[in-house]
Structure 1
Amino acid sequence: MQTNLLIIYSSVDGQTLKICNALAEQLKEQNQPVEIYSIDTFNKDLKPYDKIVIGSSIRYGVHNKKIIDFINSHKEELEAKKSVFFSVNLVARKPEKSTPTENPYVVKFFKTIDWKPTLVEVFAGKIDYKKYNFFDRKMIQLIMWMTHGPTNKDAEIEYTNWEKVKSFGLKLIDL
């Protein structure tokens, strides 16, 4: 049976969108109809979709407020369908913080929101200091220094485990 899958995302620097595009490509290869929308432009009805995937990056310890508002205002619809959440953050670069039950941002998120998705995942993001404005670069360097991450102002490191993304895509197909 064909199902319609919707991906709604929030991406600050583009890595969450890159993950969403990789998932969509994988799903389409398996003949899974899929549509992708930014939280900033999504204004459609959820009724036509059987599976709803929400992906959000972290900036300064929090997920995008529009994502949180969307979940809160569509909670009943999300829980009536197969709904999925994934977080993209740099803390997940550490193996001991790369699962939904161990990632502090995901744990905190689900303590502050009343939604029980069918599936939850977390992916490590990307650091690209040259892409950031002065303030963001300094703040992220400070956070990285505190967490023993890279602080070189020229660092560009993609931590995303693409095999994990692919495995997640298979789970979406099987939902």
Structure 2
Amino acid sequence: MIILVGYATIEGQTRKIAEAVAASIEAAGDRALLFDISSGGEYAIGHPEAVILCAPVHAARYPAAFVNFVRQEAPWLRGVPTAFVSVSLLIRSEFDEERDEARHFPQGLFDETGWKPRHVHHAAGALRYTEYDFFKRWIIRRMAEYEKAPTDVSRDHEFTDWQALADFVGAFLTSAKG
């Protein structure tokens, strides 16, 4: 089975997640076609047999290029097995209302684009302190203090649960082939 793994990334964690999704697909014996949606390019083959899309939430929305892709491809996406990985730091919050907010971000995307995947996975992202400019690092550190997240700005902090992601991909592959 050929599976498109499309992603949009802002700080790189979603690309890393999409690469792990593709690696899990390949390890299961299927072919993964990794595609950076933000590149504006075309994927190299006709329409794959299944799709897993990955996108980060920043400022309560997904990247515009990702939303545009989903809107444009929604008729095709509705006809093949699909899954969505929503990447947000809020999913790891200690506050119930913030985790609930993160769980509801995908519904806005689905309402806006007309696409509803069979499976949705919420993955926590990363704090990339070493890549932020001074102002962003200062703001993010203050937010991290509030969330009781790591505040050591001398290194990055990753929160993605890689085993949960691999399990999600495995379950999707089983479902897509069934």
Place the TM-score, normalised by the shorter chain, in its bin.
0.7 to 0.9
Cα displacement string for residues 118-151 of structure 1 (whole angstroms, at most 9, x for unaligned residues): 2111100111212112343233234434544344
Contact 2:93–2:99 (8 Å) recurs in 1:
no
Structure 2 residue aligned with 1:20 = 18
Contact 2:5–2:52 (8 Å) recurs in 1:
yes
The alpha-carbon distance between structure 1 residues 61 and 166, as it changes in their structure 2 partners (threshold 3 A), is same
* Structure-1 separation of matches of 2:9 and 2:76: 23
Any gaps of 5 or more consecutive residues in structure 1? none
Contact 2:51–2:80 (8 Å) recurs in 1:
yes
Structure 2 residue aligned with 1:167 = 167
Report the more deviating stretch, 34-43 or 95-104: 95-104
Matching residue's letter, 1:154: S
Contact 1:4–1:48 (8 Å) recurs in 2:
no
Matching residue's letter, 1:69: N
The alpha-carbon distance between structure 1 residues 97 and 84, as it changes in their structure 2 partners (threshold 3 A), is farther
Cα displacement string for residues 87-144 of structure 1 (whole angstroms, at most 9, x for unaligned residues): 1111111375798896243344344442211211110011121211234323323443
TM-score of the aligned structures, taking structure 2 as reference length: 0.83
Report the more deviating stretch, 119-128 or 93-102: 93-102
Contact 1:97–1:103 (8 Å) recurs in 2:
no
Q: Does residue 89 of structure 2 align to residue 87 of structure 1? A: no
Matching residue's letter, 2:91: A
* Structure-2 separation of matches of 1:163 and 1:97: 25
Matching residue's letter, 2:123: F
Percent identical residues: 21
Q: Is the strand fraction higher in 1 or 2?
A: 1
Contact 1:28–1:34 (8 Å) recurs in 2:
yes
Contact 2:67–2:109 (8 Å) recurs in 1:
no
Contact 2:85–2:123 (8 Å) recurs in 1:
yes
Cα offset for 1:25?
Answer: 1.4
Matching of residues 136-151 of structure 1 within 5 Å: 136-151=136-151
Matching of residues 29-108 of structure 1 within 5 Å: 29-41=27-39, 42-44=41-43, 47-94=46-93, 96=96, 103-108=103-108
Secondary structure, in 3 states, of the residue corresponding to 2:57?
strand
Matching of residues 126-141 of structure 1 within 5 Å: 126-141=126-141
TM-score of the aligned structures, taking structure 1 as reference length: 0.84
- The alignment yields a C-alpha RMSD, in angstroms, of 2.6
Cα displacement string for residues 46-75 of structure 1 (whole angstroms, at most 9, x for unaligned residues): 743010111001222221110100111111
Contact 2:88–2:102 (8 Å) recurs in 1:
no
Any gaps of 5 or more consecutive residues in structure 2? none
The alpha-carbon distance between structure 1 residues 100 and 79, as it changes in their structure 2 partners (threshold 3 A), is farther
Q: Is the helix fraction higher in 1 or 2?
A: 2
* Structure-2 separation of matches of 1:168 and 1:141: 31
